[in-house]
Amino acid sequence: MPDGITDHMRRLIFYHLLIALSALLLLQACGIIYTAYKMGKGTVKATYIITKTATKTAFGTAKVIYRVGGFTFNVVTAPVTWPFTRDGLESIDGIDPKEAIKQGRVKSSPYVINGKRYVPMSLKEAADYREEGIASWYGYETGSREGGSMTANGEVFDPEGLNAAHKYLPLPCYVKVTNLDNRKSIIIRVNDRGPFVKGRIIDLSAYGAKKLGYYEKGTARVLVETIQVREEG
């Protein structure tokens, strides 16, 4: 051949270029699928032991105390007459929200708030959730309501507890939240829906914001990661 390249060599070059192009397209596709909240393959998460004890509250509903990674969570079933923390929650899994709670149909069920439908992650999707974004806080505005407020999964909302609202995570679940400005981290129980403000990924309780050092500022850049828990015994 005048140029010194045989047909066999041309075929080899074409073959390797084809492989490289295929790999590049695959990586781009994976980036589209996983950029939002997936961790890379092979990432291993630590498993936290969860312990619980059950008691009764003053108004006769169940109270369960969970302990995860050195943090304590007081989980109380709210009276059915209490309003939700978020106005405008119209349905869960296609039925009345409180009826869905009674039937245990909340965890990953689609819900409608203020006319917009949201579809949460499955448990499998949530297992690898990892996202950076803006966190805000909420809670004290519910104090003016008679009695108290109910989270989207039927628990008593406690602004002084370690809880949070998320639009897409299953309810309930536990996440590690790290303030990227000061590197403080806490474990939070996600038991509510929100925030419904553009550009924010999670709403912590007022106490959670204090623990992470952004209560006065109002918002912070955070990393949110689901954690694996295993019940002791």
Domain spans, the chain: 1-35, 47-231
* pTM for the full predicted model: 0.78
Residue found under tokens 């505005």: 141
- Asked whether 163 and 209 are in contact (CB, 8 A), the reply is no
The CATH classification number of 47-231 equals 2.40.40.10
Helix (H) / strand (E) containing 63: strand 62-68
* pLDDT tens digits in sequence order for the chain, 233 residues long: 445 556 655 555 554 444 444 433 333 332 222 223 334 444 457 899 999 998 876 656 779 999 999 999 999 999 999 999 999 999 999 999 999 999 999 999 999 999 999 999 999 999 999 999 999 999 876 555 567 899 999 999 999 999 999 999 999 999 999 999 999 999 999 999 999 999 999 999 999 999 999 999 999 999 999 999 988 75
Classify residue 69 as exposed, middle or buried by CB count within 10 Å of its CB (0-12, 13-18, 19+): middle
Structural tokens at position 28? 């781009």
SS3 110: coil
Helix (H) / strand (E) containing 100: helix 97-102
